[in-house]
Amino acid sequence: MGGYGVALVGHRNERVVNAIKSQIDKVITVHSSFYNKTREEFLQTLMNVAPSGLSQVHLNNSGAESIEAAIKFARKFTGKKKMVAMKGSYHGKSMGALSLTFNPKYRESFQPLIEKVSFSSYGDVDGLRDVVDKDTAFVILEPIQGESGIHVPPEGFLQEVRKTCDENNSLLIFDEIQSGLGRTGSMWASEHWKTVPDIMCLAKGIAGGVPMGVTLVRPDILAVMKKGEHSSTFGGNPLACAAGTATLQALTQDGLIENAKSMGEKLSHGLEELKSKHTIIREVRGKGLMIGVELKFEVKDILMEGIKNGLLLLYSGRNILRFLPPLVISEEDVVKTLQILDKLLTNEENRRNA
């Protein structure tokens, strides 16, 4: 489960714990209008891994806040109002982020949301071109869709989205809140398709479990924002920045990205073997340690039985098991996970066939 992806480097990573302890003894809060050495160290560390061209940073406190900043930056820079998101998207539950989130169960109680939002089918280039035009401020998507079921884009799709945005002078925003920071075996999921956005949104595990959101942006985009047009009181908090630096160091210096790749391959291979054994598994999909297992029925009972057997799983939709383990997962953990899941699936099949 990994705390819905927040426990990226574990629930108590030693680097993160030591960084927080050290920072507490120095200073807990510094207003963003003052110099903060801990913030500078985090920003420098982040820039070492940021996608090319995204050299400006807005620090905030959550994924939804990161998305809200991206919306404002993109609309201000382009001067346009139309926005395009994907069917199956999830970007958060604040009003702006919710407007870009597809699932009606989150939206219906809070209508009307922000206007001029269109949704295109994920992976459908022709459908995207039908809704993106010269009046479109931006297209936003998750390089790998998370909540809707771990959907990996068709080859060439992200590149075509980039091309379509460029042709219409629209910005491309990647939501890497769940897929980024080594989760897929690469620092950024979008790297698998060699596509760089104009704005990138980050959060979840970026500070090792301490609340933090980050909006990476091209400098010319951020330059149009006037003083005071967007801010975050707690953004750049020293505790979060200390934890963030430690998290990035854990990812880049302790082999966690490589571990995500190798353990992800072992887990995916094991799940494919379970698929050949259990006919109730429809599909296994994902990259690295971001994996979805689609079943032929609702997964609620398996989730509950998993808890009783020491396995915490997530769901994506009613019939998809979602695997988002910490990147520190060991081969022993993978083997145990597969053994427990095998037992759960066997019991479920026996129950249904009784």
pLDDT in tens, 76-95: 999 999 999 999 999 999 99
- What residues have CB less than 8 Å from 275, skipping those under 6 apart? 281, 283, 284, 293
Strands in the chain per DSSP E:
56-60, 82-86, 117-120, 136-141, 171-175, 199-202, 213-217, 281-287, 290-295, 314-315, 320-323
- pLDDT score for 32: 86
Tokens of 330: 């060991």
pLDDT in tens, 200-225: 999 999 999 999 999 999 999 999 99
Element (H, E) at 78: helix 63-78
Shortest CA distance to 209 belongs to which of 181, 171, 174, 168? 181
Strands in 110-186 per DSSP E:
117-120, 136-141, 171-175
**Rounded distance, CA 166 to CA 319, Å?**
37
Residue entry with tokens 């979840």: 204
- What residues have CB less than 8 Å from 74, skipping those under 6 apart? 137, 138, 171, 173, 198, 199, 221
Tokens of 194: 């060699």
233 class by beta-carbon count within 10 Å (0-12 exposed, 13-18 middle, 19+ buried): exposed
Residue entry with tokens 């995500």: 260
pLDDT in tens, 319-330: 999 999 999 999
Which pLDDT tens digits describe the chain residue by residue (354 residues)?
899 999 999 999 999 999 999 999 999 999 888 999 999 999 999 999 999 999 999 999 999 999 999 999 999 999 999 999 999 999 999 999 999 999 999 999 999 999 999 999 999 999 999 999 999 999 999 999 999 999 999 999 999 999 999 999 999 999 999 999 999 999 999 999 999 999 999 999 999 999 999 999 999 999 999 999 999 999 999 999 999 999 999 999 999 999 999 999 999 999 999 999 999 999 999 999 999 999 999 999 999 999 999 999 999 989 999 999 999 999 999 999 999 999 999 999 998 887
Tokens of 190: 């979008």
Q: Where in the chain is the domain with CATH 3.90.1150.10?
A: 256-353
Q: Considering the domain 8-253, what is its CATH architecture?
A: 3-Layer(aba) Sandwich (3.40)
Q: Considering the domain 256-353, what is its CATH architecture?
A: Alpha-Beta Complex (3.90)
- pLDDT score for 1: 80
pLDDT in tens, 39-78: 999 999 999 999 999 999 999 999 999 999 999 999 999 9
- pLDDT score for 156: 98
Q: Where in the chain is the domain with CATH 3.40.640.10?
A: 8-253
